[in-house]
Chain A
């Protein structure tokens, strides 16, 4: 896509005498910058604002509403404030590693966006091992966190870093195994390839493909939550135990980077889940215009992913934190065996019904909707019982 576009530009002579490879490089950098500055930074920033407002609603508070209309620019103000703050580097810290850590974390986070699709045409690079690339790049974050924990020369930071390493390495296994179940069905690692094999309707999504993928979806969700250090698995930065975990000694712009990654990661988790299980950008074909379809697909993808971001905010506002032994028990004793069974089960399923089994898909879709319905019924029940007055309008 990008390559054809660049080829046409070179043929038109826009780049003049510049060699072909340099032109490609310029094009890649421009595309990367466009994604980073146009989307990644903004989505991280806006997510911080949205999270604060969502929490405020859940906790009967108002939330930030002063900077800009309804406080929508609060994240910019926060970011600017942190950028302008003095950065303190502890005297006893390993200064080089201390300065390096936030960049390692940020690189691991931003490079993951290369393979995350937005629509059938909008993707920085449709790598043929896309999903593997995303999981390995997000794992780079743990290296940065370890460096941060070690280099701070603070015991709380060190414990936070070690906890993060143990947690992310452990949960990588169930997450990867669950991702492989989808790859068994598709036979491709490319994110676009995975999405293209699904349809716009829920019955065509991989979550409802077989009972194993249905369970696999929840295993992936839990494992990715743990990998993203989100509540109830936010042990590395458990503020009531470890002060602030691996970010204890950070301040100013470097602190900002860690936060950027933390909130940006939410979107990545959502995007992975949507890509693998929930049909990605697949939208009903309502217009023949390529641009129109692409806008529709991008909107579908972002809205689906963002629903997960909101869900994770909700979880964080509700649940307490697990203890480190409970965290490991959950992973090694429950998630790992379940994901193994899923993996084998899906392999068998694909052997028996290579084209999918329509009946199971319909039944599972009905079950899925039943679950959502029951959930909404419980929510309504609790709202009635507590006599709470809810304001759904985000602007009130």
Chain B
């Protein structure tokens, strides 16, 4: 019951907040309050929202969509407009109810149709519906609605009696420009009120620094343009149309796009267009005596968004794919995921051998990797003297790489095998059978891997066999165009032996340089690199193998428990759901690493602490491998500093939240991680944690966040 009530309250607040593309309850609350400065409009708006929310909930539409308020905010506008345009009487109530019903239908239908195209409905349903109502009310056949006279309207806009003094005081003492700014804001609620505008401005600032600064920018540019071209004598408050500019700059600059310098420029570029649209629509609609409302904003947003959506190859000005209803969050999450998750597009390939090998010829090497066959790698084994063979090096057997196991680089099906080419004597090349003994494996459609120059009759697989990653497929040899034993590796898009090559990275490997080991992810090794596969510690891999249905209890201090369960959503993404706190943390486990991708919910939850501590874990016990990663900035606890960053974040970021994890040597089965804040290069450790593992399970984690130490026990409740 409680959760249903909360859901209802949240839906109502969101219906208000979404007028500014927000889900911020504070902003929603402020809007709800100030809408009552015009009591009839405020009351009508609230009733409309409640009516819609209740109706749509009982009709069984998607819960998540209802809560965002996207079905109900048009009805809010309808209620507000009703209360602003008409006087209260019996007909008022009747027509309000049925217009709201009509509007709801239009909203749902439009939302469904436009949603398929990836487009929003904006306030188009409200505009259509209210025009219909206006036309109908003004028709020859009266329906009983009584318009407010403009004098009354002016009074209503001004303020109610109690606040009129304050309003007059403000309008007298504040600079004209600021008053105009606030009044433009209030026009969104069909008011012309400085107090309303000021409250909305504060709410918007709390919601988003980016959106607020865009609103200011939009207002100033529109004002400046108007002043220099003298379009409207009353400045842009003319007919309450200033809001169009501000909404358009917020929407284009920060809501539909990831905020950036480009999105800001597009937002500004739209302002002159809006002037044209306002004028044009005013002329057309004047014929029917209809107001323009936010139509210019809708048209420009809609057009531009569709225009951007149709791009095929998007390098800049990214559209928001997963809407968080916060420009900052959209931006920080986007930057974070662009850096971290860009590699999900690749099929995961490992090095096709064991131990340390050297790239003797890299991509576009100068020997044989040329033109169409350039994106290939040759591997040999070298000793500390950079020699590839033992004295005297006259037979293939003297070479370190000869006879060494060659593995499948990924799961797949064997597509092609050649196994009967004689191995060459040292220094001889077999140009007739260029590739020698070869295995081609199909991994996915259009991705084949090929290993060549294998030893005669060493190949363990035949065409049609399925192979697992890391499975032995043959032995390194010296067949084909190979004067000394080496392993040729390439990716290609066709199964043919002579196919041209494809540039493609290995998912993970360890590269060694000057006695330093470093883990490389999704990179292509270069000529001269010494590389070896990542040695996976099965115990760690098992501890982090969370399958859907996995449940665990986190025990903090006595009495503070948190129930976790792992789920998989309809997009195949796995996440932890904290049954106790409602927090959600999405993660990926790719067999080499476990890492979190995003977190939603309370920062007080124990799951959040686990999210921080185990942000990225590599399943290796190599002391030399340090895992580095970056947190999204919105996790920063220092809000004043974060607000400063928010204002300039589309252009540059001076704060960095980094993560590093190591396998410290003293204790087996422990992972130490830290979170470091960097502000203009100045470092401060925010979080330190140790995760302890034993018996293929997480035992618990100790974490210190901002000097606050917590010891959390991890109790796995089921075995599977």
Q: Do A and B come together as binding partners?
A: no
